[in-house]
Amino acid sequence: MSATIGTRIHTLLFGKYVGQDEFGNRYFRHRSAKQGQHLKRWVIYKGIPEPSKVPALWHAWLHYTTDKLPDEMGIKRYDWQKEHMPNLTGTAGAYVPPGHIKRGASRDASSSDYQAWSPDKA
């Protein structure tokens, strides 16, 4: 279950469905706003709540960068654009840089390597 019971009840009572992304996340806005306030916007994730799985155009809508929904923007997706990859930090698929202990803790020497001061060499 991706949302708490409180979020589901709040969504049923006050939410208006506005769309869904390619990952199955559903987006909502509040049905009415108090004078001088934005209509609140939120997402109910499909599966495990993974904020990095919110596409850029939906992120812009959620954070009031735009009032247009991604379908209304007419932005073309190009062949060279990569598919979304979730944040893999803490998983076996996480990026491990050269020289990391998981890669044998060895790396090529660098001109900026630290040289310890020794009073004998002074």
Domain extents in the chain? 5-72
Q: State both tokens at 40.
A: 């609140």
pLDDT band at 82 (very low <50, low <70, confident <90, very high): confident
Mean pLDDT of the chain: 84
Phi, then psi, of 12 in degrees rounded to 5: -65, -40
The predicted pLDDT at position 40 comes to 92
Whether residue 122 is predicted with pLDDT greater than 70 in this model: the reply is no
Cβ count near 17 (within 10 Å): 11
Phi, then psi, of 106 in degrees rounded to 5: -130, 145
pLDDT band at 107 (very low <50, low <70, confident <90, very high): low
| pLDDT one-digit tens code per residue, 20-62 | 998 899 999 998 877 777 889 999 999 888 888 898 899 999 9
Whether residue 16 is predicted with pLDDT greater than 90 in this model: the reply is yes
Whether residue 1 is predicted with pLDDT greater than 60 in this model: the reply is no
Q: Which single residue is written with the structure tokens 């506005």?
A: 18
Q: Give per-residue burial for 5-14: e unless 16+ CB within 10 Å, then b.
A: eeeeebbeee
Dihedral sign computed on CA atoms, order 46, 51, 56, 59: positive
Task: Say what the pTM is.
Answer: 0.69
The predicted pLDDT at position 2 comes to 64
